[in-house]
Structure 1
């Protein structure tokens, strides 16, 4: 992707490992690597925390 990074789909941990789709509260993440090769995880915060 020009000017950005490729990110995974939104995923959540399930019985068999990571499963695509939104999970419960604090349970949805996406993953990407920056151009330097560092791995990152972005975790969704519950709505009251995201309003800060």
Structure 2
């Protein structure tokens, strides 16, 4: 629903911002899992 004084364009810009925040969150979560996996692999097979 549009709020009073809000245009369709304002609503579209808001949705784009939400989409980018969501994508950043998903990418960060995947990155954290990858980093954790790499850290675990390094502790099991230390290469020093």
> The TM-score by the shorter chain falls in which range?
under 0.3
More strand by share: 1
Q: TM-score by structure 2 length?
A: 0.22
Structure showing the higher helix proportion among its residues? 2
Normalised to the residue count of structure 1, the TM-score between the two structures is 0.21
